[in-house]
């Protein structure tokens, strides 16, 4: 296997693994946050607006780690620095 095929195969595999493993944590975290917020909203319907805005902000915070994984997956697929290295060889 020459270096082009190797880099391409490893890049695709790495992007898939990165996205799959990287989103587990934030998925569980977002599920917990949403479940707790729904429970709190059911217990105190008067405070629902406040809870909802806080929930959106915290969901965005939790989502960040999955988005880092997504960025790295995009980088390995579309802006892989090792491609240029292999081409220049």
Partner 1 sequence: MLRIDFSHWFDVPLQGRELALQNYDAIRLIEWGNKYINVTIFNSWLIILLIVGGAWLATRHLSVNKQASRWQIALEALVLWLQKEANETSGSRTNQYLGMAMGLFCFILTANLLTFLPWFRPPTASLSTTMALAAVVFLAIPYFSIRNAGIKGYLKKFIDPIPLMLPMNIFSEFFSVLAMGLRLFGNMLSGVMFASILSAFVPFVAPLVMQTLGLLTGSIQAYIFALLAVVYSSSVKEEIVPQEIT
Helix, strand, coil shares of the chain, percent, nearest 5, are 95, 0, 5
Q: Is 1 helix (H, G, I), strand (E, B) or coil?
A: coil
**Of the residues 75, 82, 83, 86, which one makes contact with partner 1 according to CB under 8 A:** 75
Q: Is 79 in the site for partner 1 (CB under 8 A)?
A: yes
Residue 34: CB partners within 8 Å, gap ≥ 6?
55, 59
Nearer to partner 1 (CB atom), residue 27 or residue 57: 57
Q: How many of the chain's residues bind partner 1 (CB under 8 A)?
A: 17
Of 12-71, which residues contact partner 1 (CB under 8 A)? 49-50, 53-54, 56-57, 60, 63-64, 67-68, 70-71
The residue among 89, 68, 67, 70 whose CA lies nearest residue 78 is 70
Binding positions for partner 1, rule: CB under 8 A: 49-50, 53-54, 56-57, 60, 63-64, 67-68, 70-71, 74-75, 78-79
């Amino acid at each position: 296997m020459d270096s082009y095929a190797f880099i391409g195969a490893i890049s695709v595999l790495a992007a898939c693994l990165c996205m799959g493993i990287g989103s587990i944590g934030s998925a569980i975290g977002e599920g917990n946050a949403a479940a707790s917020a729904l429970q709190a909203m059911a217990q105190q319907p008067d405070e629902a607006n406040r809870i909802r805005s806080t929930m959106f902000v915290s969901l965005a915070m939790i989502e960040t780690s999955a988005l880092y994984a997504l960025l790295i997956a995009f980088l390995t697929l579309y802006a892989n620095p090792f491609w240029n290295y292999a081409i220049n060889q």
